[in-house]
Amino acid sequence: MIVKPIETGWEVIYQHAHGLLAAELALHWKVSERPPYFMQTLVAIAEHDDGLLDYRQTDTLTAAGAPLPFQFRSYNLEQCKGAMEVASAKNRWNALLTSHHLSFLYSDKKDLDAEMKAFLKEQRILQKKLTRDLGLQQEEVLQAYRFVECCDALSLVLCLDEVLPEKRQQDVSKTPQGEIIKIWEEQTLRLEPWPFEQSQVKVKVEFRELHQLQFTDSAELWRCLHEAEVSERCWTFTKS
């Protein structure tokens, strides 16, 4: 979950909704800069967190009983394996991008156990095999994953409400071509370099508000989220 404190409690955006927003951003990308297998790439972006989160989770609260933000979650090997099973059932390209995403998320963590280290080693071997089987060069795949990561990062900046005030620019991520993309607000949102095909792009995400600070257990949290009213937040990007 993406969790933000508000005056009356918490604002929650599901990881699934964040993924959908990332895919919506990708859908507007310049045609000339889109990666191969573009439709399959959109699916991978939209579903890149789906295998990692579901309503059976019971570790969704902090020690104080507040909704647990995704940043505070540790890795879960079984969920990582589930993500790869789902991705592999679609096609090799989806599996390749998902594998790179898991490597991106966890390879630099210092508290990995032996099983997780073995899993990540398996992913590196799988990535080489799938790249070879698809007849691609390593740099082509890395550029495609930078596209996934850039859309993911931009979606997170929006969902976390991290755009700086007073026209101050901030780095978002590297573009597929390796440039640093920056975001700022000037009446509408601006990006440099401009990544989209159109000169103006509108996107949105759904969120829920929880009007209590603490929950007794995960079942209560999920019930309150299910009963909460659904609202939309919209953003407009305009080319400078």
Packing angle of the helix pair 114-133, 77-90 (nearest 10 deg)? 10
The one-character DSSP state at 204 is E
pLDDT of residue 47: 87
**Residue with more model confidence, 86 or 234:** 234
In this predicted model, what pLDDT tens digit does every residue of 38-60 receive, in sequence order?
A: 999 999 999 877 665 555 566 78
Q: Token match 């990006």: residue?
A: 191
What's the pLDDT score for residue 73? 78
| Predicted confidence (pLDDT) at residue 74 exceeds the cutoff of 80 | no
Picking from 130, 123, 124, 53, the residue whose alpha carbon sits closest to that of residue 91 is: 130
Q: Where are the alpha helices (DSSP H) in 91-164?
A: 92-106, 114-133, 138-159
Region 84-95 average pLDDT: 94
What is the pLDDT, as a whole number, of residue 18? 95
Q: What integer pLDDT is reported at residue 56 of this predicted model?
A: 58
The answer to whether 45 and 145 have CB atoms below 8 angstroms apart is no
Residue 7 has pLDDT above 60, yes or no: yes
Structure confidence at residue 160 (pLDDT): 95
Local structure of 164: helix, strand or coil: coil
With beta carbons less than 8 A apart as the criterion, state whether 189 and 183 touch.
yes
On the question of pLDDT at 145 being above 80, the answer is: yes
Q: How far apart are CA 44 and CA 211, in angstroms?
A: 33
